[in-house]
Every structure is written in structure tokens, then in C-alpha cells.
Amino acid sequence: MFDIRFQSVSKRYLLRRAQARRWGTRPENELWALSNVTFEVERGEALGIIGHNGAGKTTILRLLSGITAPTKGEILIRGRLGSLVELGAGFHPELSGRENIFLNGSILGMSRSAIARQIDAIIEFAGIRDHIDFPVKKYSSGMYVRLGFAIAAHMEPDILLLDEVLAVGDAAFQLKCLDRIAELRKAERTVVLITHDLAALGRICDRVLLIDQGRLLMSGSPRRVIDEYVTLGPGIETRADTVPVLSRKPAECRSVSFSCGAESSIRTGYPMRARIEYYAAQRVANATFRISVFWPSGYLCAEFSTDIAGRQMDIASGPGVVEFHCAAAPFQPGLYRIDVNIEVNQHVIDGRQRCAILRVDAGKVVLGDFFFPYDYQVLQP
């Protein structure tokens, strides 16, 4: 039995002059955010939705949550919705966090006594007890999202809609979110999730939709759809910003690149190489080169660093190259953000944020977040 039926749905927006210039269309033109999209979500199923920015993912959740209506097609919902789709949606800015909990619960049809039974769990989960009686207009965006997720996940929803909730908060809060989603799944609640965290999609979801330019390209198992999404991705951007050779900085990064021997792409479990090209305007002592690899959610996944066991290096003036070699790429298939730093005595003298995207294709099977090479032996008693 389905909880959600999305039948031949299209959504059109009319662009005014400023919007048309932004999207490269004529004034008063149309933008079709979704075109003839059809899918169903079964009761108790966890559905992930992926696609590049502007693909139409959030439009689907806005339609499901009733924030906007379809231009064409039909949407059927069976059950009570809990949603975290737009920052601050459902909150009254002048009311306190506590008052907004009761407001949201009443909108969902819950009695005041039922809300009161959940309120301590909601406040504890959101981690904002010291601010719960302040007006939410004074909350940071992170506090908004933590409270919004806590409300949506504790108000006994039949269907939970989540848009990038794993991209906010610290690692501890993200783990709490994942644990709460797992509890809802055990209770046979339906979950629809948008996230760029491909590893989380693989852990949480039964099925994933791939959306591109408003159209449904693919529906299937997380592994199969994620592999297709990575194939459609931007690939490996191997160049950092080009900088002039003459500079006031002692040393600067010229580029960062990744390779996998004779392979055309980085593959999980296969040898990989990370390479920094730099230029030093002078001799630099006590230097450290560092490549940081981040999950799409923004949290650090791994690092390559020359600062091994506290040792630093001296580099001569002129161009140079630093290479890191990894016997087995540990990363799950997906797209990872890359930062590069050159440091002297632990102070950054050249930092390049978001200077590259590392694309990792499927290779050896990963059961978990990382490929972990190991050996074993059987010892007889």
C-alpha cells in the first residue's frame, strides 16, 4: 500500500524580469521546475532523492508538504506529514521555541496533552534548552533546523519529509538524526530524504530517485542510482585557482589533482595519488602541505598531510610538487569537496577552500563508510 503517489506532476514558475536575467530567459518567461514526474512511496519505505542543485528536488518536497501546488498532475498523501523543507516554515517568529512546539503540534492535529508528553524529548533532542523560551526570530539557522527536525521527528508522523537536515549541526547532532530516522523506520514510518551525503543515502534508503532538470532520470537501489549520479557528475576538477608566479606569499598552491595509475578515474579500494603543484617565492622552512577531503555535508572525511608525527619540511624557492600515495582509496563512491593548505609552523600561508571536487567511482565493495583493507589468518589451537 502506498503512502505517497506522485502522478504525472509538473510545476511551472513564471519568471519576472530580474529572475529571468538570473536564469538566462526572457522576461515573463516560464521555468518548469518539474516535468511529468511520476513515482510512488510504499508505507514504511525510505526514499532518497538526489540530483544537482536546481534539479527540482526541493520542489518535490514543497509539493508533498503543501507549500505549493502542482501546475499539472495529481498528488495523493495517506497519513500525517511531518516535514522540514524550508527554514522556519511553520514557525511564528515572535513566539518562543516552546510555544512553536505547541503551535506545530496543533497544526498536525495533536492534542495539547499529547504535545506536552513529547516536549521534553523535543527540547533535549534539539539541544536548545537554554534558548527554548526565547523568540525563535533570535535563533540561528542551525537552531532553527535542530528544532524543526526535533518537532517533525517526535510528533508521531506517518510520513517524514527532510531536506538537507544532515548538512547542518555538528557530527553529534547528525548521528542523533540518523538514529532517530532509524527508529522511525523500525516503527514502519515513511521517510523521504533529500541529501548530498551519498553515504547516508546508502545507509538509510531502500530506494533512490535521480532528478535532473526537472525530470525523473532513474529510480532504483541506492548503489545503482548513486553510481549513475556520480557518472553524471562534474568529474574531477583538478585545477585550483591559477595564481601569478610573483606573489607576496612565501608559497602558493598552483593546482591539485588526483589519479589512479592507469585507471581513468579514482575507484574505491584501488591505488590513488594526490598531487599538489606549488610555487615558492623564497625558501620556506617548517612547511606543511595538507589536502582535506570533506563529505558533501561539509564535515571532514580524511586528510593527506606531510606533517607526519609532527615533522615538517623545508622547501627551496621556485616551482615544486608534493605527491601523496594511497595503496587503496578508502572512499565510498561519490563526490567529495577538496581544500588545500600550505602551512608554516601550523599557520596557514595559503589556503584554497572548495578548490576541487574529487569524484570516486565504484570499485571494491564497501560494507560501511570506508573501504578498510585487511588480511587474516586462521590459528589452530
pLDDT of residue 19: 55
Domain extent for 268: 251-361
CB 316 within 8 A of CB 282: no
Question: What's the pLDDT score for residue 239?
Answer: 38
Q: Does residue 369 form part of some domain?
A: no
HEC-encoded secondary structure of the chain: CEEEEEEEEEEEEECCHHHHHHHCCCCCCEEEEEEEEEEEEECCCEEEEECCCCCCHHHHHHHHHCCCCCCEEEEEECCCEEEECCCCCCCCCCCEHHHHHHHHHHHCCCCHHHHHHHHHHHHHHHCCHHHCCCEHHHCCHHHHHHHHHHHHHHCCCCEEEEECHHHCCCHHHHHHHHHHHHHHHHCCCEEEEECCCHHHHHHHCCEEEEEECCEEEEEECHHHHHHHHHHHCCCCCCCCCCCCCCCCCCEEEEEEEEEECCECCEECCCCEEEEEEEEECCCEEEEEEEEEEECCCCCEEEEEECCHHHCCEEECCEEEEEEEEECCCCECCEEEEEEEEEEECCEEEEEEEEEEEEEEECCCCCCCCECCCCCCCCCCC
- Answer yes or no: is 65 within a domain: yes
**CATH number (domain holding residue 26):** 3.40.50.300
Q: What is the pLDDT of residue 130?
A: 92
Looking at the fold, whether 310 and 178 belong to one and the same domain comes out as no
What's the confidence (pLDDT) of residue 30?
80
Would you say residue 367 lies in a domain? no
Say whether both 55 and 168 belong to one domain: yes
pLDDT given for residue 237 in this prediction: 39
pLDDT by 10-residue block (mean), the chain, 381 residues: 94 72 59 94 94 89 91 94 70 91 83 90 91 91 84 86 73 78 90 83 89 93 83 48 50 89 79 92 92 81 84 89 92 86 88 85 76 84 71
Q: Based on the fold, state whether residues 210 and 270 are members of the same structural domain.
A: no
pTM for this structure?
Answer: 0.67
pLDDT of the residue at 241: 38
Same domain, yes or no: 25 and 170: yes
Say if residue 136 is in the same domain as residue 30: yes
Do 185 and 152 have their domain in common? yes
Q: Are residues 149 and 177 in the same domain?
A: yes
